[in-house]
Amino acid sequence: MKTSTRIQLSTMMFLQYCAWGAWYGQMSKYMTNQLGATGDQVGQAYAAFSIAMIAAPFFVGILADRFFSAQKVMAWLNLAGAGILFWVLQIDDPDMFFWAILLYCLTFTPTISLAISISMQQMENSEKEFPSIRVLGTIAWIVIVNIVGFMGVGGEVVIFEFTMWFSIILGVFSFFLPKTPPTSEGPVSIGQILGKDALVLLKEKSYLIFFISSIIICIPLAFYYTWGNPAITDAYIFSFPDADPTGFKVENKMSLGQASEVIFMLILPILYVRLGIKKIIIVGLVAWIIRFVFFGFGNADSLEWMFYIAILLHGICYDFFFVSGQIYTDRKAGPKIKSQAIGLITLATYGVGMFIGSLVSGWVKDAYTYEEVTNWTGVWLFPAYIVAAVLIFVMIFFHEKGKVATVEE
């Protein structure tokens, strides 16, 4: 890959995740503090993101694979999203906020797959080259979350102002990305619109098991993204009731998870080759269980170290399942269905699984809340049990070994 291309892709990934990281982990705190939202309403808002993720693979599969250059689609979606975010800034009702954030997510979620597709189509060996590009997204998340934390605005509308401006910048920049023309030709059928070409991956038992596991494991993932920030904030408020909550710098503490993600993403290509996909996934699932238990029993006093370990485990939890899964999917798919294949696994993770998880996390949070006091131990043990079930499922039924063959081989 040329140095100029690497710089372009790295910049794209950095801006993409600045726009995402500015609001995603903080939206629950914003909705609770500024809009007076319930756990169910917060869960619905995160589910809106997942609804958009379900539509995104089909959108990308049609436009980016067949009719339009991916970088141009990327540009116009970001600019449209910026316009919708200007409306979001004016809203003070949680029910209206749901519809606004849904519209925004419909413009943002396709860009996640587009960023991956644009990157991988410039690569000869995605297994080795993609992590070094993707890591810029994680670095961006760390940077923007720390800015939010140091400014003490994690529960304020400014998080969406940040996202609006990053969307404008990325929208303009995308017009200058490497040309990424459609990879498919000929008339489009209903089956192709629904992603039929990529569904061929599910005929292989190993990938089917991975696909099912991806859906289920995203239920616990939704708990972390939705309630990680508010839970730790509550713990510090409980221990230090007279302190200014903005001084807790919860966003800065949460960013340690992305820092660990950078480290493990850089070594992932080596581990992927030496350990194989199954062992990597198993290690990641064990880490998920440990982190939820530590979140459940940690506190802001003598057991504060549990919070830090739970946060730092994010690198293993995320990279060993989701990033390795993207590489695994890319290796399984042939070049003609690469974009649809990435869209398929994106649907499984951030779409169906996160949709269910977002709603369930809201219900569970409300179920464990009485008179505005939440039993966070009960909330966190719920996803821990789900991960344990997925771990057993993978250990018994997933048997991918040796070189990963593509569906065309």
pLDDT above 60: residue 398 = yes
Residue 353 CA to residue 331 CA, distance in Å, equals 23
Tell me, yes or no, whether 214 lies in a domain: yes
Residues 139-163: pLDDT tens digits? 899 999 999 999 989 889 999 999 9
Residue 252 CA to residue 144 CA, distance in Å, equals 10
Tell me, yes or no, whether 237 lies in a domain: yes
The strand pair at 369-370 and 373-374 is best described as antiparallel
Q: Using 50, 70 and 90 to split pLDDT, how confident is the model at 409?
A: very low
pTM of the model: 0.85
Q: Domain range for residue 263?
A: 3-180+191-397
- The number of distinct structural domains making up the chain is 1
Residue 172 sits at the vertex; the CA angle it makes with 171 and 175, to the nearest 5 degrees, is 95
Tell me, yes or no, whether 250 lies in a domain: yes
Residues 338-372: pLDDT tens digits? 767 877 787 788 788 999 999 999 999 999 998 88
Q: What is the pLDDT of residue 359?
A: 96
Tell me, yes or no, whether 146 lies in a domain: yes
Residues 8-19: pLDDT tens digits? 999 999 999 999
Max Cα distance, the chain (Å): 66
Residues 214-228: pLDDT tens digits? 999 999 999 999 999
CATH of the domain at 65: 1.20.1250.20
Q: What is the pLDDT of residue 331?
A: 81
Tell me, yes or no, whether 408 lies in a domain: no
Look up residue 395 and give its two tokens. Answer: 């250990």
Residue 157 buriedness (CB in 10 A; 0-12 / 13-18 / 19+): middle
Residue 290 CA to residue 383 CA, distance in Å, equals 11
Residue written as token pair 């939704």? 222
Q: What is the pLDDT of residue 389?
A: 96
Q: What is the pLDDT of residue 198?
A: 81
The stretch 221-241 carries a mean pLDDT of 90
Tell me, yes or no, whether 59 lies in a domain: yes
Please measure the distance between the N-terminal and C-terminal CA atoms of the chain and give it in whole angstroms.
25
Q: What mean pLDDT is reported for the chain?
A: 88
Q: Which long-range contacts (CB under 8 A, 24 or more apart) does 367-371 make?
A: 369/39
Q: What is the pLDDT of residue 390?
A: 96
Tell me, yes or no, whether 228 lies in a domain: yes
Residue 121 CA to residue 116 CA, distance in Å, equals 9
Tell me, yes or no, whether 104 lies in a domain: yes
- The 10 Å Cβ neighbour count of residue 165 is 14
